[in-house]
Every structure is written in C-alpha cells, then in structure tokens.
Amino acid sequence: MDNFPQSNGLPAYVTANDVKTRPGKVIPYREALRLILSSMATKRLPESIRSELPAIVSHWLHAPKEAPLLLAKKTGKKWRALLSGYVAINPDNLARLKLHRVNPRLGFKLDHGDIPLPPVRHPTFTFIDLFAGIGGFRVALQNLGGKCLFSSELDLTAKQTYFSNFGEIPFGDIHKFTAKNIPDKWIAKCIPDHDIMAAGFPCQPFSKAGISARIALGQKHGFSCETHGALFFDVVRIAKVKKPKAIFLENVKNLHTHDGGRTFQIIRDVIEQELGYSFSSHIIDASPMVPQRRLRCYIVCLRDPKVTFSFPSIKGRPRPLISILEASPPDRYTISNRLWNGHQERTKRNIDRGTGFKAYEADLCKPANTLVARYFKDGKECLIPQKGKNPRKLTPRECARLQGFPEEFIPHCLPQPAYRQFGNSVAIPVVERIAEQILDQYL
C-alpha cells in the first residue's frame, strides 16, 4: 500500500528517470500527486500548511480547475502548468521546465485507473465527508452519483486506507477549521459549498461498550468527553456557516438513551433551534441488507424546517452470515487452543454468575453479532465454526462484506487497524438507501 507523505517530510524530487511519457497527455493520478508534492518539497511553507499538503494536493487533483484549499489561486495555476508541461515535453527536459511559459489551462488528463473507487465523472450532487473513517459514507454517496468535495479524518491508519481506495488524503484535525478563534469567513473560504454534509461523528463516548470502559478507567463519556463527545459541535459550526441542504449523521443506538435522553435532546435542540433545520431520527437494524445485527441511530436534518424527512422502510428476512464467508480462508485466522479454551472457561463462569461476555460459535444461518472495533483482540463476538478445527475469526475481507463494502475495496494491509476500521464503519447499503430517500424527497 502506498504511504502518503506526512508532516515530517515529503518524498524526494521526481527525476527524469522516474518519469514515463504517455500518449494523449494522460498522467496517472498517483504520479500527478507525487510530482506536485515533490515540486513543493523545497518551498517555505507554514507548518500548518505543510502538514496538510498531501490533503490539499489530493483534494485539488479531484477538482484541478479550482483553487487549492488553504492556498492561493496562483498555486493551482502553477500546478496545472507543471502537469501540462509534464505530459507535453521530453522527460530529459523536465529539470529545465519554465512554468511561466506553459499554458496553465488543463493540457493534461488524469488517469484514475490506479484508484479502486475514483470520483464520479458527472456528479448530480455534492457532499463533504466528516469523521470519514475509511469512507463508508463516501462509497454510498458516490454510488448515487455524488462528488466529495472535502474529507476529514484524524486517525492515520484510516487516512491510509481512505487514500488507497479514493486517491484522496483526508484533512486531519477538524478543529483546525472550527476552533473558537477561527472566524466564520475562514470556514466559508476553506470548506467548499456542498449539498449534503455526511458525518459519522465518533460513537465511543455514547456506546454502551465505550461508556463501560470509560467508567472503569475513571474517564468522562458523552459530551463530557472533550476529545470525542464534543465533536458534534464541530459539525454544527460548519453547518452554521455553510448551510448545506441536508445533514446526514450516524451514531450508535445508545445515543437515544445516553444520560437519560439528555444527550439526544441537546443534539435535537441545537439542530432545530441554533441551525433552524428540521430534525428526524430513526433506529435501523441493518440485518436485512447486510448479514449482521447492527442497530444504529440515523439522523437526517433538512435546511427547510417545514420539510420532515421520512425514513425508508428497511425490513425483510435477515441475511445469513454464510452468504459472505470466504471459501478457503488461511489457517492464520484459526484461533489458538489457549484462546479457545479461555473463551470457553470464561463463558462458563459468566453463565454461572449471570453476567459478563459469552463466546459461542456463530450460527451461519443467522446474521452475525454486531462487528465492533475491538474484534481484532480475540474475535469473541463472531467465531466461525470449522470442522475438525478450533473456530476462526472473520477475515478482513469478510468484515468488509459485513459492512457492504464492494469487492474492489482495499483493506488496510495490517490486520489490527483493518479490523478496527471495519468495526467503526457504517453499514453502506443502509446509508445508501437513506441517502437515496434524501435525494428523492428533497434534493
């Protein structure tokens, strides 16, 4: 998997030996990204810009006729000239290229063949992807013809997976755009206008598992958790400035009941009273669309407060787990004797005392239990029975299928972050069905 540049340095300059000419003025997307980043390696830039330069360039390459986010319009002109010159001249002359002598119009074509899930060519609506994770919202909205104009995600490994699949590096800490000292004019300039704001804001402070863990560790939860709980208000700050036509949120079922319902009421009051949007929420089980019991709270808010959103009916027979299993998974996913014996012993103790987790082999004719971020630790939530062997964990590909990711989606190359990322993701078919209803009803 490609590793994109980080704040501690940019890749070496692309030499003539690295450049390959291609007919028809076509340049592979990733090659264009490396070329521009290399050309900026020696530029004097504020650290706040340099650390986000991979995100700035990759976003710009999805809309090269626009000005780069956070940078001057003339910078985009220079980048267009660089890429136009790259495809127009002999590679041996690359070092002598005079940018001001090259027509800054688009004299090149980007080949997205090296991106599994490239941007939509003729979009019918636009969206931004906040707390993007590995792009579950993006897959769903692109499937419906949407174009992503801005993405943000703090986790490094999730950003790597996002880049591997969409060719775009999300911006990092969203607080750089929403902090109290950031004026509204800056937000209006830096974040593009869009039709739908999609945000799966972090759920751990509101989930039952997250609350239990935080109480045990003496940590705060819900909105009291400054690190994650208050991120909802970053969504509000952006929405207040940009005024998208629709806000589409997803969180855990427990959001409804957290803190006696007060957390959910605060969210509703802020959206209705501060933003002036309509507010609709619904808890949906994804099992008729993907083979796992996954109940999540979905929230749709519309800019016109007179319009009440009606959620689609998602019903039907739950899909069986066997429908997504690989035929011949590698033996490395079979759990050890020690782990399996430990699961069985703890399960017996917990049954006797009437509390605690229980680990059983899954019923392949029924949907799996909810895939969670901690699944990589021991796989106890879903153990696949095997004839003559200990049970095994799901493979990362099977986890991707559990969430409805397409087969061309590339999981992270390391198993631990791959499992965590799929456990934190959304059920794509459910998101797509709700988004389709938003488009039909309102956009």
Concatenating the DSSP letter of every residue in 52-72 gives THHHHHHHHHTSTTSPPTTS-
Report the pLDDT value the prediction gives residue 24, as an integer from 0 to 100: 54
Average pLDDT, the chain: 85
Catalytic residue among 148, 190, 203, 301: 203
Report the pLDDT value the prediction gives residue 220, as an integer from 0 to 100: 43
**Residue 277 contacts by C-beta under 8 Å, 6 or more apart in sequence?**
239, 247, 271, 301, 302, 303, 305
Report the pLDDT value the prediction gives residue 80, as an integer from 0 to 100: 92
The residue written with tokens 């501060």 in the block is 274
CATH 3.40.50.150 intervals, the chain: 125-316+427-441
Determine the longest span between alpha carbons in the chain, in angstroms. Answer: 80
Strand partners, 109: 26
pLDDT in tens, 155-188: 999 999 999 999 999 999 888 888 888 899 999 9
Report the pLDDT value the prediction gives residue 231, as an integer from 0 to 100: 79
- Return the HEC string of 223-271: HHCCCCHHHHHHHHHHHHHHCCCEEEEEEEHHHHCHHHHHHHHHHHHHH
What mean pLDDT is predicted for residues 80-104? Answer: 61
Contact 249, 237 (CB under 8 A): no
Q: What is 321-422's CATH topology?
A: DNA Methylase; Chain A, domain 2 (3.90.120)
Is 365 one of the annotated active-site residues of the chain? Answer: no
The pTM assigned to this predicted structure is 0.86
Query: With 50 as the cut, is the pLDDT of residue 57 above it?
Result: yes
Q: Looking at 40-54, 128-142, 172-186, 293-307, which range is the least confident one?
A: 172-186
The answer for 386, left when phi > 0, alpha when psi is -120 to 50, beta otherwise, is beta
Determine the Cα–Cα distance for residues 119 and 123; give it in Å rounded to an integer: 9
The DSSP secondary-structure symbol of 383 reads B
Using DSSP, state whether 5 is helix, strand or coil.
Answer: coil
Query: With 80 as the cut, is the pLDDT of residue 230 above it?
Result: no
Strand partners, 300: 248, 280
CATH 3.90.120.10 intervals, the chain: 321-422
Superfamily of domain 125-316+427-441: Vaccinia Virus protein VP39 (3.40.50.150)
The answer for 282, left when phi > 0, alpha when psi is -120 to 50, beta otherwise, is beta
